[in-house]
């Protein structure tokens, strides 16, 4: 009881000392009311959005959050640090390790009909240099298709090294890589040059979106995978950064989601 009284007096003194500056209101509330709930409303009674960027990213990666247009402004720095720091690299490596282990454990047909579908952007190639630009802000500023197309046409995308390991493992096992991208046919030359420059070789098919390939990303990618299956190929694996790469028809025996908190393709 006595020690409690001393503690209470001490807490009061601390609270009074902190009260000497107006900036310390928050600190006082923590001393006087431990675990007080943070108010969610501003002075005008409107809800102040408290975006937890890690929770936001988890919601994106799990496909709980869909059709989002922009990275929340408050999360621009978070996403930038994530993409440029070790976490994104490690997350890609974890995907790659799982995919390589899976591929090595496969019982293959040995008839040249086993294929693995790879998405291109943010899967085997990276647009980080583009998204790091101040006029793109890691997806926190509105997407400008003209700018993005100029960047793609330049063909300067680096590889994502861990996913390139998956690609090379797939090749060495005798599984045929099929590159399936939402980029349009007019980028075939720049894409091919870019892919070769950063170490990709011997793909079985590079499928780009043609004039007749209308429809959503899910519809387009589903129809291309269905064509493969109808031609007798077995899609043993399918790897992409967008859920639209991994859902729909004939998704393959095992899908692998590569992280991407910068943009959403529906």
Q: Which is nearer to ligand NAG, 21 or 144 (CB)?
A: 144
Ramachandran bin of 202, using left for φ above 0, alpha for ψ from -120 to 50, beta for the remaining angles: left
Instruction: State in angstroms the smallest separation of the CB of 120 from ligand NAG.
Output: 22
Burial class from Cβ neighbours inside 10 Å (0-12, 13-18, 19+) for residue 71 reads buried
Q: Tell me how far, at minimum, the Cβ of 130 lies from ligand NAG, in Å.
A: 12
Nearer residue to ligand NAG within complex by CB, 65 or 141: 141
Nearer to ligand NAG, 23 or 135 (CB): 135
What's the angle, vertex CA 181, arms to CA 176 and CA 182, rounded to 5?
Answer: 160
- Radius of gyration (C-alpha) of the chain in whole angstroms: 25
- Comparing CB distances to ligand NAG, the nearer of 10 and 143 is 143
State the residue number with the nearest CB to ligand NAG.
144
Q: Tokens representing 27? A: 């600190």
Q: φ, ψ for residue 121 (rounded to 5)?
A: -65, 130
Structure tokens at 179: 């590159």
CA angle (260, 265, 266) in 5-degree steps:
130
Number of CB atoms found within 10 A of residue 231's CB: 9
- The CB-of-142 to ligand NAG minimum distance in angstroms stands at 7
Nearer to ligand NAG, 77 or 144 (CB): 144
Query: C-beta of 70: minimal distance to ligand NAG in Å?
Result: 14
Nearest distance from C-beta of residue 156 to ligand NAG, angstroms: 16
Q: Which of residues 122-161 bind ligand NAG (CB under 6 A)?
A: 144, 146-147
User: Rounded to the nearest whole angstrom, what is the least distance from the CB of residue 144 to ligand NAG in the complex?
Assistant: 4
Residue 53, Cα to own-chain centre: how many angstroms? 13
Task: Give the residue with the Cβ less far from ligand NAG, 150 or 249.
Answer: 150
Binding mask 187-226 for ligand NAG (x = CB under 6 A): ----------------------------------------
Q: Are strands 205-209 and 234-240 parallel, antiparallel or unpaired?
A: unpaired
- Consecutive H or E run containing 208: strand 205-209
Total residues interacting with ligand NAG, rule: CB under 6 A = 3
Q: Could you say which DSSP state residue 49 is in?
A: P
Site for ligand NAG in 47-76 (CB under 6 A): none
Q: Could you list the residues that contact ligand NAG (CB under 6 A)?
A: 144, 146-147
């Amino acid at each position: 009881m006595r020690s409690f009284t001393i503690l209470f007096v001490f807490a009061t003194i601390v609270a009074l000392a902190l009260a000497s500056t107006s900036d310390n209101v928050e600190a006082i509330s923590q001393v006087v009311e431990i675990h007080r709930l943070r108010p969610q409303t501003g002075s005008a009674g409107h809800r102040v959005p408290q975006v937890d960027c890690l929770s936001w990213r988890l919601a994106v990666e799990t496909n709980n959050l869909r059709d989002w247009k922009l990275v929340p402004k408050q999360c621009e720095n978070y996403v930038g640090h994530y993409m440029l720091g070790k976490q994104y690299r490690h997350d890609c490596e974890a995907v790659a390790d799982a995919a390589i282990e899976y591929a090595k454990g496969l019982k293959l047909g040995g008839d040249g009909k086993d294929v693995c579908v790879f998405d291109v952007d943010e899967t085997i190639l990276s647009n980080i240099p583009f998204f790091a630009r101040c006029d793109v802000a890691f997806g926190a500023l509105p997407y400008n298709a003209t700018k993005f197309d100029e960047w793609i046409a330049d063909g300067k995308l680096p590889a994502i090294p861990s996913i390139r390991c998956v690609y090379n493992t797939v090749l060495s096992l005798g599984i045929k890589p099929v590159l399936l991208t939402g980029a349009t046919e007019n980028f075939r030359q720049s894409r091919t040059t870019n892919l070769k420059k950063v170490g990709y070789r011997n793909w079985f098919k590079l499928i780009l979106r043609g004039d007749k390939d209308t429809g959503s990303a899910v519809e387009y990618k589903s129809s291309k995978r269905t064509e493969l299956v109808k031609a007798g190929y077995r899609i043993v694996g399918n790897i992409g950064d967008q859920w639209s790469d991994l859902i729909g028809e004939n998704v393959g025996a095992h899908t692998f989601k590569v992280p991407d908190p910068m943009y959403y393709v529906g």
